[in-house]
């Protein structure tokens, strides 16, 4: 598999990272009293432990330049001292606080069946599968979106980033701006994270390993879809 074929295969996976429920969540169609389910599952499946997932890639990686990028990502996620001033999982909890939800619910979240399957996939991909799969899954799949092609090619559109005042949670649910601290930080740091993620994977994953990375990304996509299905149904949504 050439690097161009590798890039295209990864981009095709990411371009499928779409779900029918995104319209509902983006247009205020989820009942306010059920929105906590979505937030709890996001937090427990990957937000709370994202620094750990990145750390697993870091400790397996023998490539100094990649380790530096992973270390910077890990340090910011865990501490926030490069940009956010607070750990990113902690900033995430400002969202349910803005809703007025009981934050104690986030201390011991019971995962839905689809959520558990997806988290199991993430754990398998980041423990013992090699740094290449761990890095691709954490920094490209989890952090990335269906707009990744625009991160690599200026001829394609990048992910739309409207002003924070137009964030769906503020527009449709009236969340105060302070509750959107994490989306605000992402606007500042995600561009660098995207560049570093793609550089590490495209420049340092060897040809023999590339097919396994693509297969792992495809497994993550399948798990993510099942996870999103279960969360949507638990939030009272019905597929089209």
- Does any domain span residue 80? yes
d(CA 62, CA 10) in angstroms, rounded, equals 22
With left for phi above 0 and alpha for psi between -120 and 50, is residue 236 left, alpha or beta? left
- What is the total count of domains within the chain? 1
Query: What is the chain's mean pLDDT, rounded?
Result: 93
**180-239: pLDDT as tens digits:** 999 888 776 665 678 889 999 999 999 999 999 999 999 999 999 999 999 999 999 988
| pLDDT band per the 50, 70, 90 thresholds, residue 171 | very high
- Does any domain span residue 186? yes
SS3 content of the chain, % helix, strand, coil (to 5): 70, 0, 30
**76-91: pLDDT as tens digits:** 899 987 666 889 999 9
DSSP the chain: --HHHHHHHHHHHHTT---TTHHHHHTT-S-GGGHHHHHHHHIIIIITTHHHHHHHHHHH---HHHHHHHHHHHHHHHH-TTTTSS-HHHHHTHHHHHHT--GGGGGSPPPPHHHHHHHHHHHHHHSSS-HHHHHIIIIIIIT--TTTHHHH-TTSPPPP---GGG-HHHHHH---GGGGHHHHHHHHHHHHHHHHHHHHHHHHS-TTTHHHHHHHHHHHHHHHHHHHHHHHHHTT----
- What pLDDT score was predicted for residue 186? 79
Taking a C-beta distance cutoff of 8 angstroms, is the pair 234, 29 a contact?
no
| pLDDT band per the 50, 70, 90 thresholds, residue 63 | very high
Give the list of residues 6+ apart from residue 64 with CB closer than 8 angstroms, or none. Answer: none
Note the pTM of the prediction, 2 decimals. 0.92
- Does any domain span residue 240? no
- What pLDDT score was predicted for residue 12? 97
- Does any domain span residue 112? yes
- What pLDDT score was predicted for residue 190? 60
Task: Work out the average pLDDT over 104-123.
Answer: 96
- Does any domain span residue 191? yes
- Does any domain span residue 145? yes
- What pLDDT score was predicted for residue 159? 87
Structural domain range at position 50 = 3-233
**15-53: pLDDT as tens digits:** 999 999 999 999 999 999 999 999 999 999 999 999 999
Give the list of residues 6+ apart from residue 97 with CB closer than 8 angstroms, or none. Answer: 103, 179
- Does any domain span residue 239? no
- What pLDDT score was predicted for residue 191? 52
d(CA 177, CA 167) in angstroms, rounded, equals 9
Q: What's the CATH number where 24 sits?
A: 1.20.910.10
- Does any domain span residue 194? yes
Q: How far is CA 23 from the centre of its chain?
A: 18
CA 104, 106, 109, 114 torsion: positive or negative? positive
């Amino acid at each position: 598999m050439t690097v161009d074929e590798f890039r295209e295969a990864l981009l095709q996976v990411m371009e499928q990272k779409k779900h029918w429920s995104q319209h509902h969540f983006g247009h205020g169609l989820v009942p306010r009293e059920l929105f906590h389910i979505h937030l709890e599952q996001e937090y427990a499946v990957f937000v709370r432990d994202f620094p750990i997932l990145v750390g697993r890639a870091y400790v397996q990686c023998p490539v100094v330049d990649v380790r530096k990028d992973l270390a910077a990502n890990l340090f910011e996620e865990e501490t926030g001292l490069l940009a956010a001033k607070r750990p990113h999982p902690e900033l995430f909890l400002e969202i349910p606080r803005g809703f007025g939800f009981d934050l104690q619910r986030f201390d011991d979240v019971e995962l839905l069946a689809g959520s558990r399957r997806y988290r199991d996939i993430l754990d398998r991909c980041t423990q013992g599968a090699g740094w290449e799969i761990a890095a691709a899954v954490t920094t490209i799949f989890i952090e990335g979106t269906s707009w990744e092609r625009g991160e690599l090619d200026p001829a394609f559109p990048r992910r739309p980033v409207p002003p924070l005042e137009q964030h769906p949670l503020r527009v449709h649910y009236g969340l105060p701006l302070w509750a959107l601290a994490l989306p605000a930080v992402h606007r500042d740091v995600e561009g660098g994270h995207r560049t570093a993620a793609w550089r590490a994977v495209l420049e340092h994953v060897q040809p023999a390993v590339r097919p396994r990375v693509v297969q792992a990304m495809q497994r993550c996509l399948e798990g993510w879809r099942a996870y999103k299905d279960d969360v949507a149904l638990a939030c009272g949504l019905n597929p089209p």
